[in-house]
Each structure stands twice: as C-alpha cells, then as structure tokens.
Amino acid sequence: MPPKKKTKVDPPQSSSDEGNSDHSGNKSANKPKRVRKKSAKATITENENKTSKTLQNKTTTEFLNQDFNNVSKTVDGENWNLKIASWNVDGLRAWIKKGGLDYLHHENPDILCLQEIKCSKSKLPPEVEVPGFHRYWNSSEADGYAGLGLYTKVKPESISYGIGIPDFDKEGRLMIAEYEKFYLVNVYVPNAGRKLVTLDKRLQWNPKFQELVKDLDSKKPVIICGDMNVAHQEIDIANPKSNKRNAGFTQEERDGFSELLKSVSLTDGFRHKYPDVKGAYTFWTYMANARKKNIGWRLDYCLLSEKLSSNFCDCCLRSEVFGSDHCPVVSFFHM
C-alpha cells in the first residue's frame, strides 16, 4: 500500500500525535493550570465524537447481506469453474481477529492470495490451518512487515519464492504457484515511499519483475494477483490532480505498469470487463472517513495473459468486505 502521508486522499497514517507536543520550549509548561470542570453537555458531545470516529473505520463485514456467487460467463458462454481471490490484509493476525477467515468460508475461492501478512512463519497463529486448503507462506525476514500467504484447494505442481534479488526476496514479496494450465503469481510490489524516497527501489523492481513474468508466460499462461502499488489511470484514483507526485501515482510508476502490460501482453481483468466504471477502488486511507466517502485508489489487480482472455469471466471488487484498508479482488475463470 502507499506510504503514510497526510493529504486529503493520501494513504494511511498513524492517528498518533507523537512529536507534536506543545510543551517543548514553553516557559509556562511547569506552572499549575486551572482545571475547568466539563459540563454534562460537553461530556456527551465528546463521547459522541469518539463514537463517530470509531465508526469511520468499519471492520465488521455483514456477510449474510452479500452475494458471493457470480453468473458471468466467458465470451463463448462457458460458466466459471475457478475462483481466485486476492487481498492485502494489512496484518494476518489482526485480519483473523476481524473475521478474515469468515471471509474465506463465505467467498469459498479455489485460491486465495494474501499480501502484507506481516507475520513470520514462527508466529503464525493456529487458526491459519483451514481444512480443505493447502497453505503456503513467504514471510519477510522482519516480523511485522510485508509477506505473502496462499490458500489453495488444489495442490500446485510446484511453488517457488522470490524475484532473484536478495534485497527484495528477504521481504517476502513474490511467490509463484504452478498449476496444470497456468502460473499464478502472488505479489506485493514495493511502494515508492513517502516523498518518493524509495522510488529508485521501485524502479529497480519493475524490469526484473517484467523479465520474470515474460519468462513464465513463454511456458504457460500467467495470472498475477496482488497489490501492485500503483493506480494505473486517472479513473483509478479519486483525486488524480493532487496526487501526481505521490507514491502510487507518479508518472514513472504508471509508465512502468503500462510497460508491463504491453511487453508481456497482459490484460487488466477489471478494466477489461469494466473499462469506464468510475469510483471503483481497492484501497482507502484509514483517515478522514475516506472509505465511507469512497475516496480511494485502485492498487490491487488481477492481470492475465491475453492467451487466457477466452477463459476469463469476471473480476469483482468486494468493497463491502472489511477487515483491512484494502478490499478483496475476486476473479472468475473457466479452465
């Protein structure tokens, strides 16, 4: 996800006021202060404000009010028989506490890709063992940072990890599952950082990732699921003008994404199906009630080899599924 920077639509930041103390250098800081007693009315208003702030970041999903099925078909009229979900969960342990595994049961995908699990293998909670699914993890060496997970009903023919650059691979950013008819790439792309301090790192990633996907595509079709950390076009972000030089919407990142699609002949599943739909986002900052106002970014994708276009049925953004600052992206195929 994008770096934590405070703008009206920028990515999430801490609500802490650390470092903003007014006491530093204040000559009267040690003088006793008069304490005013709050009126009952003021106390009620304050409590209402606190409640209002808590409601801004909804974490509970009303699963029974949602339809997780899909009636879309391929261009040849075939019903889907493969459902792939992908979700940046912003911390696996917190996600589980917020009902993340309930989502797995209700969505019931054949494959679920997770990004930003922020959990080392040694600290995986026992709840992650879900009957009926094989599980694979690619954790960052630093606990509490990045990392990937994969739930799959069908055991892959092979699993591999990493992009081939140690600085990236120690962060747990990529895993490849080989199936009979395709490769699945689960990815968490580096972001460019606050004030673009890691833009060079991001630009180092792009050609290597492109090379890897191109090599896979020469053997079997590829499906890429994950947080690409870029809003590709202006339609993919609520306020494009004010974010031109913010991480996730710089011209360099957008051009890199365009080059990936072009050079490997990849299709953006959602835009292929819904080219003109506005207000379709997958990430909202926790601040300023952005999700309720739908001030968001589309950072999470399902990309597919053009060879799979005839197998593709639909791609949905589950914006009413809560538990993270991102929402799941669900794609349907007939294989």
The 10s digit of each residue's pLDDT in 309-326 is 999 999 999 999 999 999
The upper half-sphere exposure of residue 31, i.e. CA atoms within 13 Å in the direction of its Cβ, equals 5
In a domain, 68, yes or no: no
Domain count, the chain: 1
Task: Give the CATH number for residue 303.
Answer: 3.60.10.10
In a domain, 21, yes or no: no
The 10s digit of each residue's pLDDT in 225-263 is 999 999 999 999 999 999 999 999 999 999 999 999 999
In a domain, 277, yes or no: yes
Distances in Å between the Cα of 229 and the Cα atoms of 3, 264, 326 are 10, 19, 11
How close are the terminal C-alpha atoms of the chain, in Å? 31
In a domain, 108, yes or no: yes
The 10s digit of each residue's pLDDT in 84-130 is 999 999 999 999 999 999 999 999 999 999 999 999 999 999 999 99
Across the range 258-269, mean pLDDT stands at: 98
The 10s digit of each residue's pLDDT in 181-227 is 999 999 999 999 999 999 999 999 999 999 999 999 999 999 999 99
The 10s digit of each residue's pLDDT in 123-172 is 999 999 999 999 999 999 999 999 999 999 999 999 999 999 999 999 99
232 is in an annotated binding site: no
In a domain, 272, yes or no: yes
What is the model's pLDDT at position 92?
98
Show which residues are catalytic.
Answer: 188, 227, 326
Q: Kindly tell me if the per-residue pLDDT of 41 is higher than 80.
A: no
Domain hosting residue 256, numbered range: 74-333
User: Could you write out the DSSP letters of every residue in 49-73?
Assistant: HHHHHHHHS-----GGG-------B
106 is in an annotated binding site: no
In a domain, 13, yes or no: no
What is the model's pLDDT at position 8?
41
Across the range 75-80, mean pLDDT stands at: 97
Confidence band for 281, pLDDT divided at 50, 70 and 90: very high
Across the range 254-283, mean pLDDT stands at: 98
Task: With CA atoms as reference, report the closest residue to 92 among 163, 150, 13, 170.
Answer: 150
Q: Residue 134's beta-bridge partner residues?
A: 152
Angle at 155 between CA 224 and CA 220, to 5 degrees: 40
Burial label, 246 (beta-carbon count in 10 A; 0-12, 13-18, 19+):
buried
Confidence band for 3, pLDDT divided at 50, 70 and 90: low
What is the model's pLDDT at position 59?
77
In a domain, 4, yes or no: no
227 is in an annotated binding site: yes
Q: Tell me the whole-structure pTM to 2 decimals.
A: 0.84
Q: 303 with 224: CB under 8 angstroms?
A: yes
Q: Residue 302's beta-bridge partner residues?
A: 225
234 is in an annotated binding site: no
Alpha helices in the chain (DSSP H): 40-56, 92-97, 100-107, 166-169, 199-217, 251-264, 269-273, 290-293
Distances in Å between the Cα of 256 and the Cα atoms of 15, 118, 241, 249, 315 are 32, 26, 19, 11, 23
What is the model's pLDDT at position 60?
86
Q: 155 with 133: CB under 8 angstroms?
A: no
In a domain, 152, yes or no: yes
The 10s digit of each residue's pLDDT in 7-31 is 444 443 333 333 333 333 333 333 3
